[in-house]
Structures are given as structure tokens and as C-alpha cells.
Amino acid sequence: MATTFGSLKRHIAAKIHDPQFISVGEGLIEGFMQDAYSDLNLTGWLLPVEEDESIIMVANTYSYPVPANFAYIYMLLEEDFATPGQYDYAIPDNAWRPAYDGGVPVLMFNSLVWSPTAGKKIKIVGQQRPTVPLVDATAIEDGFVSFIRMRTEAYALLYLAAVPVEESTPELLEKRIAIANVRTSTANSLFALSERALAHHPAEYRVKPSSRHIPTR
């Protein structure tokens, strides 16, 4: 069963002993999860193979905007002329290249070796960068779950440990400081474990061979 954004958020809250989001608000947990996703992006993690069929060819048109979120493309397939929805023809590598035109990432085609078939689609096969699924029902990529959980728990525990301590007696103050120290130690351990997971970087989340980078993404 897939882990959803909402179920992981609630699991993290329970792990830090705050299932009702009282000490760490739900919005804060979501923010820490977003920080964890940013950490994935900064170290080059990518989603596995993604496909998109939103480009519709236009006669005598050799430039098309790249669909949102694609960071790398390693194959373009052309829809069959006679069979809609069938993509058997791979557009040659020398027929296209990513470019940046007018502030927009585009696919530029070489008119000397390829021509568009009006009304037919181009299927993009490539990879996207991870984005935060802010809808609770959205599934999280299986290979991301452990890292997101550990990293978010670490951020949340450091937040709790830094909350100002005010107690009426020295004994209670000492107890609160001890709890803060335990939270800090646990957070540091979780952060170290998440760093090891980040460095492992399985092959399915790396750039595919022969992929082409999309400018600005």
C-alpha cells in the first residue's frame, strides 16, 4: 500500500509524540517536509521514468515548450499516423535538442531531418525533480519515504528542543532542559541517518544515461 503525504505527516507527528499537532502545528510539519524535499533536490535526486503526451504537433512548427517539471529528457516518441495512442517511432537524437527561448525551456527540432505531423502527439520520456505533494491523498515515491520521515522528524525535534523554557521551580526547569537535550540528541542521530540515506542515492533516482538537461530546471 502506497504511503500518502497525509499518512506520512500523521506518522511523523505520532513519532515525535504530538499526534494532534499541538506542539508542532500541522503547517510546520508540512513546512519541514517541504524542506526535506528541497534537500533531495539539492543533491540531485530525481523521480524515476515519467511520461508526458501533452505536446501536439503543428504543421511547420519546430519549437515546442517543455511540459512543467521535466528536468531531463532521454527519449521522444512520435504518435503513429494511423493508430492514435501508439508510440513506436523514436525521434532521432540528432533531430531535437533542449533550448531556452524567450525565457521558456523548449524543444527545438531540426527541420532538415524531421518534420511534424499536424495533430499528432509527441511523447516525452524523462525525469522530473521531486515536488512536495501538498494534497494529503497524493502518494509519495517509495524510495523517498524513509528519508522524508527521518529528515522531517529531525527538523521537528530540533524545533521542539529550541522552544523557550519557562518553569516555576528549578526541578521542573532541569527536567525540561533534560528533555530538550534528548530531543536534540535524537534529532542529530536522525539527521545523520538521513544523510547516509541521501548519499546512498539509488540508481533509479539518478540521471539516466544519454539524458539531456532542460535549461533552468
Instruction: Name the H helices within 1-134.
Output: 5-15, 26-42
The C-alpha atoms of residue 183 and residue 25 are separated, in whole angstroms, by 17
Does position 1 have pLDDT exceeding 90, yes or no?
A: no
What is the reported pTM?
0.85
Q: What pLDDT score does 151 carry? A: 98
Nearest to 148 by CA among 1, 52, 17, 7: 7
Q: What pLDDT score does 77 carry? A: 98
Greatest alpha-carbon pair distance for the chain in Å reads 83
Packing angle of the helix pair 5-15, 145-161 (nearest 10 deg)? 40
List residues bridging with 212 in a β-sheet: 73
Q: Do residues 22 and 157 touch, judged by C-beta distance below 8 A?
A: no
pLDDT tens-place string over residues 191-213: 999 999 999 999 999 999 999 99
Does position 30 have pLDDT exceeding 80, yes or no?
A: yes
pLDDT tens-place string over residues 138-154: 999 999 999 999 999 99
More confident residue, 132 or 64: 64
